[in-house]
Amino acid sequence: MTYPALTVITFLPLLGAAGILLLGRGQRARWVALATTLATLAAMAPLCSGFDKTKSGLQFVDLVQWISMGNVQINYQLGVDGISLPFIVLSGLLTLLCVGASWTAIRTRDREFYAALLLAETAMIGLFAAANFFLFFIFWELMVVPLFLLIGIWGGSNRVYAALKFLLFTLAGSVLMLVGMIALQVATPEAGLNFKQLTGTTLDTTLQIWLFLAFLAAFAVKVPMFPVHTWLPDAHTEAPTAGSVILAGILLKMGAYGFLRVALPVLPEAVQIFLMPMLIISVVAIIYGAYVTLSQTDVKRLIAYSSVSHMGFVTLGIFTLDQRAVEGAILQMINHGIISAALFLCVGMIYERTHTREIKDYGGVAKTAPIYATLLALFCLAAAGFPGLNSFVGEFLIIGGAFKTNPWLGAMAIWGVVLGTTYLLWLYYRMVIGEMNPGLQGLKIELTARETLTLAPLAFLALYLGLHPECVLSYLHIPVSELPNIIATP
């Protein structure tokens, strides 16, 4: 029996959220959330097994006629191709882990919290599954609301400032994207804002440039690219653990995904014109982000800034337009989603016990918490690009593409990796190795079974994707090769 799989997967969390809000008082909200996220993840299984990697175009399409006015025809259309499927699975997995991480951390207004989390999941999956720009925009905007609430209500001491900053930055970009979208619709009325149909049309170059700039505003804020990145440290630091995981794991990828879905296929000439500036900004983000990360004293802020640096790698890979590098960049997005989620989870777990984020308050954790120390070591090494773990493959492919484009870019990227390894290993050294910080005496730092279980899938994926990256890369070959102006591998 065929059923609209994508619609179910997208809106199941929304149903769960509605269900939670209808519940009475009590701690049942988290159980409903757990059940919903598990069900959503399970519902993705037929998607993965039934996906045909050799076919180009969207699969599992759900199409419903929606807006028809005159010559404007915009439909409700969901579909996945090789690029969106890994992100959808990642969204499902990370939301499940967020529920696990927030199990004991969220005490007040837990119903609203889990409802917001599930709403966010709907928005995430919907964004990646959207087959036209209209739905893309709807889910893009929808995503901001639950996150604003998550940061602003359950966040740290400076949460209102951080939440407002996040909101204003994102909306500023989105407004320009809206204008761009309307302009696009006016220029190509018959396409109905459908991505696949837009890819075929050739737009006037001037229009393309303006559209690229409009979309750049929105995507650059989300990625985040230098210099519009300053919302990220505050948002990540003040957000609760689940919020940070969603922010770092998925939200940042939405910006780069936007480049892949909108900018590259629809605006090829503009991309060619803006190629070098985008590459340079990416490299600046890598190096600048890494240097600023080195100077941080707050561990959550450190990991947040490291995301700026890592996403610099991603945009660098995308704008080299080399097939292997683009595939590496998409793989790196998945890897970064896994690893930064893991790092934020680790930090959040220890914060629950110590209630301090300052690195100087830590030290010598290894003595009393070996499991935690081992897992943190694994994730730090993975983030640093240690070979055999997931980030290495992505970085290797991206650096290869960077060198082909311009040796200086490659050299800068390598320097970025050096700095990256430095700050991660230095963080690890200060937090875990050495003498036990007296402030930590008497605290039971070692992870509980639930927490270890939450981190286990991420550890497994870090190893598995490092040794067998083909399991993600195999999905990417066809859709990436169909992007215009891609330099294919011989």
Partner 1 sequence: MNLDALNISWLHPGLVLILGAWILPLLRGWARRALMVAIPAVAVVICLGMTKGTYGEVSFLGLEVVFGRVDQLSLIFSYVFSIMALLGMIYALHVEHNSQHVTALIYAGGALGVTFSGDFISLYVFWELMAISSALLVWQSREPGAGRAGFRYLLVHIVGGLILLAGIVLYGSENNNSFAFGNMAALEHTAAWWLILLAFLINAAVPPLGAWLPDAYPEASVTSAVFMTAFTTKSAVYVLIRGFPGTELLVWLGAAMAVYGVVYAVLENDARRLLAYHIISQVGYMVCAVGIGTALALNGAAAHAFAHILYKALLFMGAGAVIQMTGRRKLSEMGGLYKTMPITLTLYMIGAFAISAVPLFSGFVSKSMIVSAAGEQHLMWIFLTLTLASAGTFLHTGLKLPYYMFFGKDSGLQGKEPPTNMLVAMGLAAAACVVIGVVGLFPSLLYKELPYAADYVPYTLHHVTATLGMLAFTALGFFLLLKHLDPEPKISLDTDWFYRRGSAVFVRSFQQPLARFESGYVGKICDFVILQFVLRVAGLLRNFDTRIVDFSVVGLGRLTQALSQILKTTVSGNVQHYALMMVAGVLVLLALAMIVR
Q: Which residues bind partner 1 (CB under 8 A)?
A: 165, 168-169, 226-230, 288, 291-296, 381, 386-388, 393, 396-397, 399-400, 403-404, 407, 410-411, 414, 417-419, 421-422, 425-426, 429, 433-434, 467-470, 473, 489
Helix (H) or strand (E) holding 477: helix 470-481
Nearest-approach distance from CB 165 to partner 1, in angstroms: 7
Helix (H) or strand (E) holding 421: helix 407-432
In terms of CB distance, is 165 or 357 closer to partner 1? 165
Nearest-approach distance from CB 289 to partner 1, in angstroms: 9
Tokens 């759900």 belong to residue: 62
Number of H helices, E strands in the chain: 22, 2
| ∠ CA 339-302-228, rounded to 5° | 95
Nearest-approach distance from CB 399 to partner 1, in angstroms: 6
- Give exposure, 222-251, as e/b (b: 16+ Cβ within 10 Å): bbbbbebbebbbbbbbbbbbbbbbbbbbbb
**Residues 404 and 322: beta-carbon distance below 8 Å:** yes
Q: Which two tokens stand for residue 236?
A: 């990540």
Q: Which two tokens stand for residue 486?
A: 């891609």
**Residues 82 and 62: beta-carbon distance below 8 Å:** no
Of the candidates 341, 340, 335, which has an alpha carbon nearest to the alpha carbon of residue 397? 335
Nearest-approach distance from CB 67 to partner 1, in angstroms: 34
In terms of CB distance, is 77 or 293 closer to partner 1? 293
In terms of CB distance, is 104 or 489 closer to partner 1? 489
In terms of CB distance, is 331 or 349 closer to partner 1? 331
Q: Which two tokens stand for residue 352?
A: 């629950």
CA dihedral sign, ordered 118, 119, 124, 126: positive
Q: Which two tokens stand for residue 157?
A: 């001491």
For the chain, the straight-line distance linking the first and the last C-alpha, in angstroms and rounded, comes to: 42
Nearest-approach distance from CB 294 to partner 1, in angstroms: 4
In terms of CB distance, is 354 or 421 closer to partner 1? 421
Q: Which two tokens stand for residue 363?
A: 């030290």
Nearest-approach distance from CB 270 to partner 1, in angstroms: 25
The residues facing 218 across adjacent strands are none
In terms of CB distance, is 76 or 161 closer to partner 1? 161
d(CA 285, CA 313): 8
Nearest-approach distance from CB 297 to partner 1, in angstroms: 10
Q: Which two tokens stand for residue 373?
A: 């120390």
In terms of CB distance, is 274 or 403 closer to partner 1? 403
Nearest-approach distance from CB 239 to partner 1, in angstroms: 17
In terms of CB distance, is 75 or 293 closer to partner 1? 293
In terms of CB distance, is 64 or 168 closer to partner 1? 168
Nearest-approach distance from CB 53 to partner 1, in angstroms: 16
